[in-house]
Amino acid sequence: MAQRLALCRLLSRPARGSLVSHGRAFSTSAGRRNTFNVQDGSDFQDRVVNSPKPVVVDFHAQWCGPCKILGPRLEKLVSKLEGKVLMAKVDIDDHTDLAIEYEVSAVPTVLAMKNGDVVDKFVGIKDEDQLEAFLKKLIGA
């Protein structure tokens, strides 16, 4: 009983940033390349606005519980797409100007950006199916 509980906990607790091994192989290095933390306004301009590939922007905060669940979940799905979509993470307390510019009120707020434009958006936590659909639409459209 105790063991099973431990296993469940391992599976359901998503890793922040790095991927924890729980029996399924993910390409860690690819994941790392496709996801990055935005450093400042000009970094955002270079790697998101001017990105040749579509980018999902994850606006999150240290104090936000749901963000800690959504972030890794989104990261995992982005890495599965093997570079077709990139993911930019923006901490709204560190980059308040950026968050305000993109009218972020609540977190998590995720923007889908293509050619510098916001083409899609959602606020709050979503499950894997919903995220997959969101990403598919971004690459497809």
Partner 1 sequence: MHDVIEAAKYEKKVMVLDFVTPTPQGSSWGLGGTCVNVGCIPKKLMHQAALLGQALQDSRKFGWQFTEEVKHNWMTMTESVQNYIGSLNWGYRVALRDKKVTYENAYGEFVGPHTIKATNKKGIEKLYTAERFIIATGERPRYLGIPGDKEYCVSSDDLFSLPYCPGKTLVVGASYVALECAGFLAGLGLDVTVMVRSILLRGFDQDMANRIGEYMKEHGVNFIREFVPIKVEQVEEGTPGILKVTAKSTAGDQMIEGEYNTVLLAIGRDPCTRKIGLDKVKVNINEKTGKIPVNDEEQTNVPYIYAIGDILQDKLELTPVAIQAGRLLVQRLYAGATTKCDYVNVPTTVFTPLEYGACGYSEETAVEKFGEENIEVYHSHFWPLEWTVPSRDNNKCYAKIICNIQDNERVIGFHVLGPNAGEVTQGFATAIKCGLTKEQLDSTVGIHPVCAEVCIQNHLKAHGILG
Q: Kindly report whether the peptide bond that precedes residue 66 is cis, defined as omega within 30 degrees of 0.
A: no
Q: Residue 97 or residue 128: which is nearer to partner 1 going by CB? A: 97
Q: Would you say 29 and 19 are in contact if contact means Cβ atoms under 8 Å apart?
A: no
Q: Residue 77 or residue 104: which is nearer to partner 1 going by CB? A: 104
92 binds partner 1 (CB under 8 A): yes
Q: How far is the CB of 66 from partner 1 (least distance, A)?
A: 11
What b/e string do you get for 40-57 counting C-beta neighbours within 10 Å, with b at 16 or more?
Answer: eeebbeeebeebeebbbb
Rounded-to-integer distance, Cα 112 and Cα 59, Å:
11
Q: Residue 82 or residue 93: which is nearer to partner 1 going by CB? A: 93
Rounded-to-integer distance, Cα 130 and Cα 71, Å:
14
Q: How far is the CB of 105 from partner 1 (least distance, A)?
A: 5
Active-site residue, 67 included:
yes
65 binds partner 1 (CB under 8 A): yes
Q: How far is the CB of 63 from partner 1 (least distance, A)?
A: 3
81 binds partner 1 (CB under 8 A): no
Of 18, 106, 20, nearest in space to 64 by CA: 106
Find the binder of partner 1 among 18, 50, 96, 130 (CB under 8 A): 96
Rounded-to-integer distance, Cα 123 and Cα 111, Å:
9
Q: So which residues are the catalytic ones?
A: 64, 67
Binding site for partner 1 (CB under 8 A): 61-65, 92-93, 96, 100, 105, 107
